[in-house]
């Protein structure tokens, strides 16, 4: 169990919100299958895809109309009150759902009448959604947001699978009133759980917007904030594409199960449960990795992975498989699509929660609600309103087009990021792999700000306690290429050597006065590069702390490059580089301010042995001053990280 998961489980407020959402999700899917059951969806003469689309269309339409208003409401009224009111209203509606369906069927006809009451549920779900998303950062620390979203998504998926299984069984047995009654009970339970948040364990802080005196002013300010931030716009657009595609998949996969796999209600539910399993496993993976994934990169590649899963489902329908094998191939595809879909959903939620100021958060999520549910309205409206004849036969083609859309969105993001990248692509990929490894496996935490300058030469130096130390330094800086001075024999290692060369490391012959390596380092610094080396030369235990090398001081005094000290703690030396790579640690790294060596540039041009030794000692003392518990540690909390990479 990671520290993030442990911390969240110990938070009563988070657990209450976690359970509230999961309970309400169970009821949502009970209701869905009950409506399908009232319309005889499994009869051979009924196309299930447009029927499913009509249900989603009617449910989604209020999100399109009222999403921004609901987000504004969540920024002006305590979010807990908004959520409780929405839950109570949905529960009361469901208690009267059977007579509502009968009335609407008489009033509006047999095609749309039975599903129109779902719009009332959608209306109050529109209120609930942005309030819930905006509340999460009020009860969860910033570094745990990705894990929190993954845990919420994971438990909600378990609720989805339970609701789908129970709803399918009740629909098969024509227990419609019971399904709606249980659904009402889930919303009542959710309201009680939300009401308990903050009541006994300390009220969380909710930031509301006090700058606008009315809804129109609040809404305008929220729109101005979004339009001024390209990254927020991009995330909202990606969310719209993702949920447009998800709506199409949800509508057409029942047709595939019914016709290609020759299944019934319970088989449709089973297929969705496999989707949920993929989503659940993906959510667990995100929970375990936590903050190691950089959300924007994860979104792009998870979109591509989702598309691959959809193409596997298409293969299960177009190739001449026996139904049982077609089912198995489809399950693999839907599981894969769910796995990567969890990465997309969790990543853009966590990233928005992290980068949007609290007082704008409700409106930003309201606009995202408008976009995502607008995408669902567009998808379901296209599938349901024109009344396409024999739509079920074309489910495979529709799914293929959606796969191309999702893959295109992911690849477009990859290309755009590559075009704007400031680092070479090979190094950027290598550094990202290192970052994920360092944060997830070695538990690396950066304490305080990054001090490495964005431009110009610099020398980074640190204590050396483990073979993984270079990886920890690489993981903390995504805006500069860092070239390590490293033992030459590592260049010949099968895999690690390739990464070392990509990082433009400078090979040094161990135990020799390697003039060539020194000249290379001096030339790189004069070109404005960042060079990293360990002031102790090799890995040193506690009894060898004072074994220092003068290389850092010599390079700094001859080039004038600033020296940035760092202290690494938490790692150990298991005896070999391979054992170190596969050992788990809980590490931390802290950078200090530039070391002032101006007083050593006098006699001998800073080249005399005594001068170098004194300068080296000053650098080493600056490194030691960064140890955990040192008197300077608390001062970093007030220093903004101006070098934070996006």
| pLDDT tens column, 485-504 | 877 777 777 666 777 777 78
Distance from first CA to last CA of the chain, Å, rounded? 28
Q: Phi, psi (5° rounding) for residue 589? A: -135, 140
The pLDDT tens digits of the residues spanning 206-257 come to 555 544 456 666 667 777 888 888 888 888 888 888 888 888 888 888 888 8
Q: pLDDT tier at 293 (50, 70, 90 boundaries)?
A: low
* DSSP letter for each residue of 134-160: HHHHHHS-GGGHHHHHHHHHHHHHHHH
Per-residue pLDDT at 606: 52
Of these ranges, 276-280, 586-590, 633-637, the one predicted with the greatest mean pLDDT is 586-590
- The residues that bridge with 142 in the sheet, in sequence order, are none
Residues 450-470: what's their mean pLDDT?
86
Per-residue pLDDT at 642: 42
CB pairs under 8 A, 24+ apart, for 347-350? 347/146, 347/286, 347/293, 347/295, 347/296, 347/298, 347/299, 347/302, 348/235, 348/238, 348/239, 348/242, 348/295, 348/299, 349/133, 349/149, 350/145, 350/146, 350/148, 350/149, 350/295
Cα–Cα dist 585/102, whole Å? 62
Per-residue pLDDT at 575: 64
Has residue 162 got a pLDDT over 60?
yes
Q: pLDDT tier at 645 (50, 70, 90 boundaries)?
A: very low
Q: What percent of the chain has pLDDT over 70?
A: 86
Residues 544-567: what's their mean pLDDT?
83
| Rounded (10°) CA dihedral 534, 536, 540, 542 | -120
The pLDDT tens digits of the residues spanning 137-157 come to 878 877 777 778 777 777 777
The DSSP output letter for 595 is B
Has residue 552 got a pLDDT over 80?
yes
The DSSP output letter for 203 is P
Q: pLDDT tier at 609 (50, 70, 90 boundaries)?
A: confident
- Identify the CA nearest to 461 among candidates 557, 531, 541: 531
Q: Which of 192-206, 444-458, 525-539, 603-617 has the lowest mean pLDDT?
A: 192-206
Per-residue pLDDT at 541: 61
Per-residue pLDDT at 341: 87
Per-residue pLDDT at 203: 43
Residues 386-414: what's their mean pLDDT?
85
Q: pLDDT tier at 333 (50, 70, 90 boundaries)?
A: very high
Per-residue pLDDT at 202: 47
Residue scoring higher pLDDT (591 or 282):
591
Has residue 391 got a pLDDT over 80?
no
Per-residue pLDDT at 234: 84
Per-residue pLDDT at 306: 92
Of these ranges, 269-273, 301-305, 352-356, the one predicted with the greatest mean pLDDT is 301-305
Per-residue pLDDT at 640: 46
pTM exceeds 0.75, yes or no = no
Residue scoring higher pLDDT (642 or 286):
286
Has residue 638 got a pLDDT over 70?
no
Q: Which of 322-331, 339-348, 506-515 has the lowest mean pLDDT?
A: 506-515
pLDDT, averaged across the chain: 79
Q: pLDDT tier at 164 (50, 70, 90 boundaries)?
A: confident
Per-residue pLDDT at 636: 54
The pLDDT tens digits of the residues spanning 94-150 come to 888 888 888 888 888 777 777 888 888 888 888 888 888 888 887 887 777 777 877
531 three-state secondary structure: strand
List, in order of start, the domains of the chain with CATH numbers: 3-201+212-416 (1.20.1250.20), 425-638 (3.40.1130.10)
Has residue 311 got a pLDDT over 90?
yes
Per-residue pLDDT at 335: 92
Q: E strands within 371-455?
A: 445-447
Cα–Cα dist 113/115, whole Å? 6
Has residue 19 got a pLDDT over 80?
yes
SS3 content of the chain, % helix, strand, coil (to 5): 70, 5, 25
């Amino acid at each position: 169990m990671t520290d993030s998961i442990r911390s969240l489980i110990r938070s009563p407020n988070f657990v209450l919100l976690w359970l509230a959402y999961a309970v309400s999700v169970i009821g949502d899917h009970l209701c869905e299958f009950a409506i399908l059951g009232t319309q005889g969806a499994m009869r051979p003469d009924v196309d299930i895809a447009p029927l499913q689309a009509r249900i989603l269309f009617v449910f989604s339409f209020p999100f399109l109309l009222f999403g921004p208003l609901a987000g504004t409401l969540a920024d002006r009224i305590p979010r807990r009150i908004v959520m409780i009111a929405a839950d109570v209203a949905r529960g009361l509606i469901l208690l009267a759902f059977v007579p509502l369906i009968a009335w609407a069927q008489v009033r509006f006809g047999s095609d749309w009448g039975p599903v129109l009451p779902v719009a009332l549920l959608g209306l109050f779900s529109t209120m609930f959604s942005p309030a819930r998303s905006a509340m999460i950062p009020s009860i969860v620390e910033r570094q745990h947001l990705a894990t929190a979203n993954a845990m919420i998504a994971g438990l909600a998926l378990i609720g989805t699978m339970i609701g789908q299984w129970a709803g399918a069984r009740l629909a098969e047995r024509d227990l419609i009133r019971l399904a709606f009654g249980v659904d009402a009970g889930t919303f009542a339970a959710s309201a009680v759980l939300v009401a308990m948040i903050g009541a006994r364990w300390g009220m969380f802080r909710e930031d509301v917007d006090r700058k606008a005196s009315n809804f129109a002013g609040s809404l305008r300010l929220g729109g101005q904030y979004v339009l001024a931030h390209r990254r927020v716009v991009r995330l909202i657009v990606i969310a719209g594409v993702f949920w447009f595609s998800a709506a199409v998949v949800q509508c057409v996969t029942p047709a595939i199960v019914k016709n290609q796999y020759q299944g019934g209600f319970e088989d449709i539910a089973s297929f969705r449960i496999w989707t949920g399993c993929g989503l659940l496993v993906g959510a667990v993976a995100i929970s375990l990795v936590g903050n190691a994934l950089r959300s924007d990169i994860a979104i792009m590649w998870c979109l591509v992975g989702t598309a691959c899963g959809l193409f596997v489902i298409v293969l299960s329908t177009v190739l001449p498989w026996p139904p049982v094998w077609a089912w198995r191939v489809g399950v693999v595809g839907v599981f894969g699509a769910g796995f990567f879909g969890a990465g997309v959903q969790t990543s853009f939620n966590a990233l928005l929660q992290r980068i949007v100021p609290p007082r704008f958060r409700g409106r930003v999520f309201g606009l995202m609600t408008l976009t995502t549910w607008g995408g669902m309205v567009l998808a379901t409206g296209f599938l349901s309103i024109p009344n396409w004849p024999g739509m079920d036969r074309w489910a495979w083609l529709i799914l293929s087009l959606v796969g191309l859309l999702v893959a295109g969105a992911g690849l477009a993001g990859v290309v755009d990021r590559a075009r704007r990248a400031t680092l070479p692509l090979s190094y950027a990929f290598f550094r990202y792999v290192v970052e994920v490894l360092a944060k997830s496996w070695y538990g690396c935490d950066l304490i305080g700000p990054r001090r490495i300058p964005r431009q110009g030469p610099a020398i980074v130096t640190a204590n050396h306690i483990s073979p993984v130390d270079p990886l920890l330094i690489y993981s903390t800086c995504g805006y500069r290429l860092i070239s390590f001075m490293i033992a030459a024999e590592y260049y010949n290692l099968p895999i690690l050597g390739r990464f070392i060369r990509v990082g433009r490391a400078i090979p040094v012959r161990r135990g020799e006065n390697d003039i060539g390596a020194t000249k290379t380092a001096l030339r790189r610094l004069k070109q404005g590069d960042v060079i990293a080396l360990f002031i102790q030369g090799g890995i040193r235990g506690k009894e060898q702390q004072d074994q220092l090398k003068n290389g850092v001081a010599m390079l700094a005094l001859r080039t004038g490059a600033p020296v940035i000290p760092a202290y690494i703690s938490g790692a150990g030396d298991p005896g070999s580089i391979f054992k170190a790579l596969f050992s788990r640690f809980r590490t931390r790294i802290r950078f200090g301010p530039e070391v002032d060596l101006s007083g050593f540039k006098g006699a001998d041009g800073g080249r005399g042995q005594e001068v170098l030794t004194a300068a080296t000692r000053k650098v080493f003392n600056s490194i030691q001053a960064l140890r955990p518990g040192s008197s300077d540690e608390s001062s970093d909390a007030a220093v903004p990280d101006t070098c934070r990479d996006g």
